Amino acid sequence: MTTTIKGANYKTGDSIEVQIVDNLISQIVGHPSENSSQIIAPGLVDLQVNGFKGIDLNSGELTEDEVIQITQFLWEEGVTAFLPTLITNSSAKIESAIDAIVQACDKNVLVGKSILGIHLEGPFLSKEDGPRGAHPIEHIQNPDWQLFSEWQERSGNRIKKITLAPELPGAVEFIGRCAEVGVLVSLGHTAASPEKIQEAVKAGAKMSTHLGNAAHLSLPRHPNYIWEQLASDELWISLIADGFHLPESVIKVFTKVKPNTSILVSDSTKFAGLSAGTYSSHIGGDIELSTEGRLFMKRSPELLAGSAQSLLWCINHMMKSDLANLSTAIDMASSKPMELMSGALQKLNSKSPADIVVFEKGKSGLSVIKTFKSGQLVFTR
């Protein structure tokens, strides 16, 4: 069976016809398009998803059906691959979440293909206020290879990325062991010295998690751990470009320094995709989601309570703020993160996996019309 998609190539703007056979793109040919507002692009790839539309991956009560449901919600946003992100928690709750993810992948083939792996964001993080962010201090600990190995075995080797603080005792050795077994190490929630960051990079760290966030409110002019990570040519960086986590000037500087190794992540919480209003959160009581999309602590409105936006929102923010053009913004949320995770670009090429999203471009930005995962239509508007 052949599936045909018509629209404009997101890179060139040329009208094309994409033909899908089984789970691969069989060929791409030029074709007069009747609707130039439709844009064909690779499926989006989100390496940091904590929750979406009321589902919390870190609730401690996650079910396999909720994992399947959150995957379907993400398909609606054009995301065809993602890393469920498990934050600092008790071992029992982390293990329960791992079990639910494994069961969902085993139960639903397309969900299993959509989940690139598991991202462990903790518990090997800094205990300092600021760098720790909202991670519960009572569960933060030093890197423990035996514990990590138990989780990795439990997951069926699905843990593909880990965020940690390199200044912790044993962290550099831990990074080296992760690199040996192919687990991507990302530096984050850290107050490390420049020397420790350099040691971590030499040991095999490849990335910085949401650079510019989870940091002290005030830092020395120089040196500091943000400058050091930005200056490291070996480190990719992820950015939460939702319009609230980072000023536009910071994003502009970061992406100028790392034009080819900056990616977008949503870092979405369970409040992403919900209506504006007041909600209760296990990390700090009542929180409020404004009509503009900002999620903050109700008792301290100046403090963010996480991200309440999708990866597509971040793409649109990059374009609206003139921080990136359409093709660059999409690449930062599709081909680039896939390159980081697998070494292979996610492109619109013959013989490439048919993970495709069809966008419509309107006054408010891009919106999803159709999403294809492994050649199958998983969402249509």
pLDDT digits (tens, 9 = 90+) for 9-39: 999 999 999 999 988 999 999 877 666 689 9
Entry field: residues in the chain = 381
Same domain, 332 and 355: no
- Sorting pLDDT into bands at 50, 70 and 90, what band is 70? very high
Residue by residue, DSSP assigns 247-285 as -HHHHHHHHHHSSSSEEE---B-TTTTPPSEEEEETTTE
pLDDT at 346 over 70: no
Residue 224 CA: distances (Å) to CA of 31, 192, 236, 244, 250? 52, 8, 18, 23, 15
Same domain, 19 and 93: no
| Cα separation, 346 vs 374, whole angstroms | 12
Same domain, 234 and 330: yes
C-alpha closest to that of 40 among 65, 75, 4: 4
pTM of the model: 0.97
pLDDT number for residue 238:
99
Same domain, 66 and 138: yes
137: part of which helix (H) or strand (E)? none
Same domain, 30 and 54: no
What mean pLDDT is predicted for residues 124-143? 94
Same domain, 217 and 89: yes
| Count of domains observed in the chain | 2
Report helix angle 145-155 to 171-180, nearest 10.
Answer: 30
Structure tokens given for 244: 């609230």
- Other beta carbons within 10 angstroms of residue 275's beta carbon come to 8
Task: For residue 32, give its domain range.
Answer: 1-41+347-381
Taking only the tens place, the pLDDT of each residue in 173-217 is: 999 999 999 999 999 999 999 999 999 999 999 999 999 999 999
Strand partners, 160: none
Lowest-pLDDT choice from 105-114, 245-254, 272-281, 284-293: 284-293
Same domain, 246 and 141: yes
Same domain, 329 and 185: yes
Handedness of CA 76, 77, 81, 87 (dihedral sign): negative
Lowest-pLDDT choice from 150-154, 285-289, 326-330: 285-289
pLDDT number for residue 305:
82
Same domain, 308 and 188: yes
Taking only the tens place, the pLDDT of each residue in 136-161 is: 999 999 999 999 999 999 999 999 99
| Cα separation, 356 vs 5, whole angstroms | 10
- Sorting pLDDT into bands at 50, 70 and 90, what band is 352? confident
CA-based radius of gyration for the chain = 20
pLDDT at 303 over 80: no
pLDDT at 73 over 80: yes
Same domain, 202 and 336: yes
CATH classification at residue 87: 3.20.20.140
pLDDT number for residue 121:
98
Q: Is 203 helix (H, G, I), strand (E, B) or coil?
A: helix
CATH classification at residue 8: 2.30.40.10
Question: For a pLDDT cut of 90, what percent of the chain falls above it?
Answer: 86
pLDDT number for residue 65:
99
Same domain, 263 and 289: yes
pLDDT number for residue 14:
92
Same domain, 8 and 141: no
Residue 356 CA: distances (Å) to CA of 268, 307, 318? 22, 25, 21
Q: What is the mean pLDDT of the chain?
A: 95
